């Protein structure tokens, strides 16, 4: 099988039995890999609702056809499970080296089920899979554990103390990269699984080696020439967005009560580069190198992404960059999602300010935050309540109108009242308040192109398209930043030219065309390698007959399957919503458009998706996607 190792292992921690899990060639072609193939496996494994903290829940770790290939930014792998934070399906993507080493060990994926009576880790090689005692690893932070588990030629994927204590937003770490969202680390902890290591020397066969090689060289050249992937991200990392977000009222500030921060210059990418940056760093096979290396506690460590700068900075009124660097490092060491942690703390500060929960946390006073990370990870004091996430905190203390989560997952640092499409994306994302699973339409609404964030017209169609695109890019195995090459440089480089302003103003009016293409993907039965390189790359490595149209349909197929699983888990259409602060309160008193017009968009969104009024995929749509027989 070209592009695949051809094996998935099913590991039962209760019995210790390891066996092969069969995936058909048809399923590989329909679902590719990553989160989409994981959704197929999870759908087939459960026939009814499953609790996150139960032996019935499974962890599915999947690679993709491009994982570990020479395609740019292709060292990605996925972890899916039922989330202890949301009760829904969660998929968490990671850029560490574990996926590459798992493939070299001869496996495309792992299915981990049951629950070990002892503390264990899993050791995978070409020869065998062993479940080993982890008593000596328990109670240790992620960098310690990875150091104890071996050298450079071993992939490691481990939890910290937060995962052991089943913090509902605990992450799993590979090197310094995190599968951060939705609490996959807590499921590891529940199963008494400290981590997984993999090593081997297998190589994946490529269908068209020379074409694949030449295509990738051209793709890398394109990424290096693009202003976003060749200049902005290498120079400032994702932190480059902080200033733009602040200027456009997109920067979450004081628990999303506003979209701009007076002290934004103290936490932006320019300050990070000038005063704190040691060097750039990137994932394997990545020409972009958007990662930052900084110092925390005297050590050279990974620097913060834009979401971390927002949620641990402006969201808490924390203008101390070194504090943010320290907090980011501590969260990685303990294994905590920085987005959920920052959101929970910001919510707790506002509850304290409003007299709803006397917890001692105050906006602008960040002197105790480093201690608070430890308390959350170990569930000590108020940390035990913060470890439950904003939704459960609001269930106990009130304040649901300003508890910044969707379906239980805390939203990212983009304040959506200045970006209608991003608001719709948060509301409809399968895994909850996720900017990436939500389609990341903010990249059109001021952070790439300059389409008005106030306009709701056409945003439903664009949100659907970008959600499906993000879905299939992840399934294929490349970083989502590679999709920036879709954005025409002329529009990105010259936002103030009259012709560019005119184009940006008219783009929402073409929502009908985007919707039509979405529903008639056969019209895109071709490849344009210079615009969207991903389908041709998958075609070259796997031999699948992949065009732009079938590529987007694969994303739509995965998105609908995830929706079906969530409906089975108890999701309702009424859950596709946002906190009232975002839909009912004006972000700026002098601007009547500064709230998310969700109801204006959600009806169109369902119609374009082929879902009924309750948000359930219709039989007709499922048949079109080859999902006949898939049901709630």
Which CATH number covers residue 381?
1.10.569.10
- 458 and 431 housed in the same domain: yes
Domain finish residue from 398, 424, 444: 398
10 Å CB burial of residue 559 (0-12, 13-18, 19+) is: buried
Q: Is residue 409 part of a domain?
A: no
For residue 21, report the phi and psi dihedrals to the nearest 5 degrees. -110, 120
| Average model confidence (pLDDT) across the chain | 96
Integer-rounded Cα Rg, in Å, for the chain is 23
Q: How confident is the model at residue 264 (pLDDT cuts 50, 70, 90)?
A: very high
Query: Is the confidence at residue 133, as pLDDT, over 90?
Result: yes
Query: Is the confidence at residue 284, as pLDDT, over 90?
Result: no
10 Å CB burial of residue 118 (0-12, 13-18, 19+) is: exposed
The angle at the Cα of 199, spanning 193 to 204, to the nearest 5 degrees, equals 120
Domain count, the chain: 3
Q: Is residue 572 part of a domain?
A: yes
Outline where 32-156 has alpha helix (H).
34-45, 98-104, 142-148
pLDDT, position 530: 85
Separation CA 183–CA 163 (nearest Å) = 8
pLDDT, position 485: 84
pLDDT (average), residues 608-612: 97
Domain finish residue from 398, 426, 461: 398
Provide the sign of the torsion angle of the four alpha carbons 390, 394, 395, 396, taken in this order.
Answer: positive
- 140 and 240 housed in the same domain: no
- CATH no. for residue 436? 1.10.599.10
Instruction: Compute the CA torsion angle 586, 587, 589, 591 (nearest 10 deg).
Output: -90
pLDDT digits (tens, 9 = 90+) for 299-312: 999 999 999 999 99
Domain that holds residue 448: 416-624
- 180 and 262 housed in the same domain: no
Q: How confident is the model at residue 67 (pLDDT cuts 50, 70, 90)?
A: very high
Q: Is residue 40 part of a domain?
A: yes
For residue 115, report the phi and psi dihedrals to the nearest 5 degrees. -150, 130
- 250 and 384 housed in the same domain: yes
pLDDT, position 223: 95
For residue 426, report the phi and psi dihedrals to the nearest 5 degrees. -55, -45
Q: How confident is the model at residue 143 (pLDDT cuts 50, 70, 90)?
A: very high
Q: Is residue 242 part of a domain?
A: yes
Q: How confident is the model at residue 96 (pLDDT cuts 50, 70, 90)?
A: confident
- 370 and 451 housed in the same domain: no
Tokens of 565: 């699983």
pLDDT, position 68: 84
Domain finish residue from 198, 223, 250: 198
pLDDT, position 324: 98
Q: Is residue 209 part of a domain?
A: no
What is the CA 352 to chain-centroid distance, rounded?
30
Separation CA 223–CA 225 (nearest Å) = 5
pLDDT, position 289: 93
pLDDT (average), residues 218-244: 96
Given the structure tokens 């929960």, which residue do they identify?
357
- 474 and 587 housed in the same domain: yes
Separation CA 72–CA 286 (nearest Å) = 5
- 249 and 378 housed in the same domain: yes
Query: Is the confidence at residue 403, as pLDDT, over 90?
Result: yes
Residues 6+ apart with CB under 8 A from 321: 266, 267, 271, 272, 275, 276, 313
Closest CA to 79 of 158, 143, 148, 25: 158
What are 302's strand-pairing partners?
293
Tokens of 105: 């060990």
- For the chain, the residue count is 632
pLDDT (average), residues 452-478: 97
Question: Are the CB atoms for 193 and 121 separated by under 8 Å?
Answer: yes
Given the structure tokens 């369902």, which residue do they identify?
606
- 20 and 147 housed in the same domain: yes
pLDDT (average), residues 153-168: 97
- CATH no. for residue 120? 3.60.9.10
Query: Is the confidence at residue 447, as pLDDT, over 90?
Result: yes
- 294 and 373 housed in the same domain: yes
Contacts 24+ apart (CB under 8 A), 619-627: 621/560, 622/560, 625/553, 625/556, 625/557, 625/560, 626/30, 626/557, 627/557, 627/560, 627/561, 627/564
- 387 and 534 housed in the same domain: no
- 250 and 354 housed in the same domain: yes
Query: Is the confidence at residue 1, as pLDDT, over 90?
Result: no
pTM of the model: 0.97
Question: Are the CB atoms for 179 and 79 separated by under 8 Å?
Answer: yes
Query: Is the confidence at residue 416, as pLDDT, over 90?
Result: yes
Query: Is the confidence at residue 507, as pLDDT, over 90?
Result: yes
pLDDT (average), residues 88-112: 96
Q: How confident is the model at residue 50 (pLDDT cuts 50, 70, 90)?
A: very high
Tokens of 13: 């921690």
- 16 and 93 housed in the same domain: yes
pLDDT, position 455: 96
DSSP class of residue 617? B
For residue 488, report the phi and psi dihedrals to the nearest 5 degrees. -60, 130
Q: Is residue 629 part of a domain?
A: no
Q: Is residue 367 part of a domain?
A: yes
Q: Is residue 620 part of a domain?
A: yes
């Amino acid at each position: 099988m070209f592009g695949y190792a051809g094996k998935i292992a099913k590991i039962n921690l209760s019995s210790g039995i390891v066996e092969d899990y069969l995936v058909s060639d048809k399923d590989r072609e329909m679902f590719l890999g990553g989160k989409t193939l994981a959704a197929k496996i999870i759908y087939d494994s459960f026939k009814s609702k499953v609790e996150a903290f139960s032996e019935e829940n499974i962890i599915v770790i999947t690679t993709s056809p491009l994982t570990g290939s020479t395609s740019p930014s292709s060292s990605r792998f996925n972890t899916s499970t039922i989330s202890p934070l949301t009760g829904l399906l969660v998929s968490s993507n990671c850029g560490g080296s574990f996926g590459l080493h798992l493939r070299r060990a001869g496996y495309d994926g792992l299915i981990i089920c049951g629950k070990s009576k002892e503390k264990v880790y899993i050791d995978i090689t070409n020869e065998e899979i062993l479940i080993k005692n982890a008593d000596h690893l328990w109670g240790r932070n992620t960098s310690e554990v990875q150091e104890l588990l071996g050298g450079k030629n071993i992939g490691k994927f481990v939890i910290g103390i937060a995962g052991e204590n089943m913090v509902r937003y605990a992450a799993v770490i590979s090197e310094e990269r995190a599968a951060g969202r939705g609490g996959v680390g807590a499921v590891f902890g529940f199963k008494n699984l400290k981590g997984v290591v993999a090593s081997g020397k297998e190589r994946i066969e490529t269908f068209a080696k020379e074409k694949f090689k030449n295509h990738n060289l051209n793709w890398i050249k394109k990424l290096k020439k693009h202003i976003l992937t060749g200049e902005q991200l290498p120079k400032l990392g994702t932190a480059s967005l902080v200033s733009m977000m602040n200027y456009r009222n997109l920067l979450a500030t004081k628990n999303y009560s506003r979209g701009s921060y007076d002290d934004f210059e103290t936490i932006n990418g320019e300050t990070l580069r000038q005063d704190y940056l040691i060097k750039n760093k990137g994932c394997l096979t990545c020409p972009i190198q958007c990662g930052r290396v900084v110092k925390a506690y005297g050590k050279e460590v990974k620097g913060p992404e834009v979401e971390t700068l927002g949620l641990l900075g402006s969201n808490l009124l924390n203008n101390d960059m070194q504090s943010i660097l320290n907090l980011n490092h501590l969260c990685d060491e303990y294994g905590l999602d920085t987005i959920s942690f920052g959101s929970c703390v910001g919510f707790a500060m506002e509850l304290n300010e409003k007299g709803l929960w006397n917890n001692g946390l105050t906006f602008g006073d960040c002197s105790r935050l480093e201690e608070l990370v430890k308390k959350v990870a170990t569930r000590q004091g108020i940390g035990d309540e913060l470890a439950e996430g904003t939704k459960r905190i609001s269930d106990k203390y009130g304040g649901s109108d300003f508890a910044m989560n969707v379906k239980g997952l805390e939203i990212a640092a983009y304040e959506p009242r200045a970006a209608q499409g991003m608001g719709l994306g948060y509301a409809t994302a399968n895994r909850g308040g996720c900017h990436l699973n939500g389609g990341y339409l903010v990249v059109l609404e001021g952070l790439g192109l300059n389409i008005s964030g106030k306009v709701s017209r056409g945003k439903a169609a664009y949100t659907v398209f970008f959600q499906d695109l993000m879905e299939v890019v992840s399934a294929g195995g490349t970083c989502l930043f590679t999709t920036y090459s879709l954005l025409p440089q002329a529009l990105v480089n010259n936002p103030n030219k009259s012709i560019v302003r005119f184009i940006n103003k008219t783009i929402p009016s073409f929502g009908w065309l985007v919707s039509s293409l979405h529903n008639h993907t056969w019209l895109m039965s071709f490849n344009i390698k210079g615009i969207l390189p991903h389908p041709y790359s998958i075609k070259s490595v796997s031999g699948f007959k992949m065009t732009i149209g079938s590529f987007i349909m694969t994303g739509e197929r995965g998105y609908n399957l995830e929706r079906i699983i969530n409906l089975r888990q108890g999701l309702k259409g009424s859950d596709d919503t946002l906190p009232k602060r975002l839909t009912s309160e004006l972000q700026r008193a002098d601007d009547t458009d500064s709230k998310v017009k969700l109801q204006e968009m959600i009806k169109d969104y369902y119609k374009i998706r082929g879902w009924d009024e309750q948000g359930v995929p219709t039989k007709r749509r499922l048949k079109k996607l080859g999902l006949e027989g898939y049901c709630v």
